[in-house]
Amino acid sequence: MNTKGRDYVRVNMPLLGLGTWQVRSSDIPGSLDAALSAGYRFIDTAQIYGNEAAIGKALKELLPKYNLSRENIFITSKLAPGNQGSVAEDSIQKSLENLQSDYIDLFIIHWPGSSNRSESPKNAALRRQSWETMEKLHEQGKLRAIGVSNYLERHLEELLSHTKVLPAVDQCEYHVHYQTNDLVNYCKDKGIHFQSYSTLGSPDGRKKLMNDPKVVTLAEKYKISVPVLLLAWAINQEISVLPRSTKKDHIEENFKALQIQMDPADVQSLLSNDAKSKYCWEPNSVV
């Protein structure tokens, strides 16, 4: 793919952020307080999570407590599938209002399809319209970087055929039991940062990951908890992670993953442990 002349956007994004999927608005202040205290400077949310406004309100109250400003915090939000196309710009403006910010550090298309219409022939046109809207808002400085989520290689190929701005990130399910290494390598080749969600297996696969014998053995070797080992495994591959929790001790524990330097042989041993077990949404059917 000829990328000559394309705008390559680079922003300083931490490798570990606080995920807020399924975190109720009432739990946001406590979660953010614990995260900021522990050292987190990256918060991941989305329009469909319904907690953008709670995050905006909490940050206004908490940043002064930690002598921080908006510029010290990296915020990601995502375009809801139902907001693809002509309503994208209005929905992004609403996200800015909810977050009480003049800009969003990274804004991404949450899903390659529109709503639940995975096989709709309109998906490609809606994706393109959404991206062009995001490019315009990026040029205006309202979106400092733009990217995608749940995009497979074919979705990225389509995007790269027309985009003026290289997507900064592709955020996808990735963990020891589900490794999309062809996609990871494709993103590296194109200069797109690959980001993992559900690194701990999400609700459906968490117990299986926590009890995986190889994972448990390595956690014991490094004298760390299994969740920290799983997060560190991704980070040691330069894949960023977004662990979610509302519990102060878990939030603090997860942050320790940034300090773990794994032996490359141990990273490789888990790369050979792919069970092809997908625990989240399946974008393969989205045309």
Task: Say if residues 40 and 17 touch (Cβ distance below 8 Å).
Answer: yes
Closest CA to 126 of 159, 90, 157, 93: 159
Residue 110 is labelled as binding a ligand: yes
Which among 8, 40, 49, 151 is annotated as catalytic? 49
Task: Say if residues 156 and 143 touch (Cβ distance below 8 Å).
Answer: no
Residue in the structure block whose two tokens are 């949404």: 281
According to DSSP, residue 88 is labeled: H
Tokens of 63: 């940043």
Cβ contacts of residue 214 below 8 Å, gap of 6+? Answer: 176, 269, 270, 273
Separation of alpha carbons 45 and 28, rounded Å: 11
Q: What are phi and psi of 239, to 5 degrees?
A: -105, 125
Sheet with 18-19, edge to edge strand ranges:
18-19, 42-44, 74-79, 106-109, 146-149, 169-173, 193-197, 240-241
Please give the angle made by the CA atoms of 229, 234 and 240, to the nearest 5 degrees. 120
Whether residue 49 lies in the annotated active site = yes
Residue in the structure block whose two tokens are 């921080």: 68
Binding residues: 110
- The catalytic site residues sit at 49
Binding residues for substrate: 110
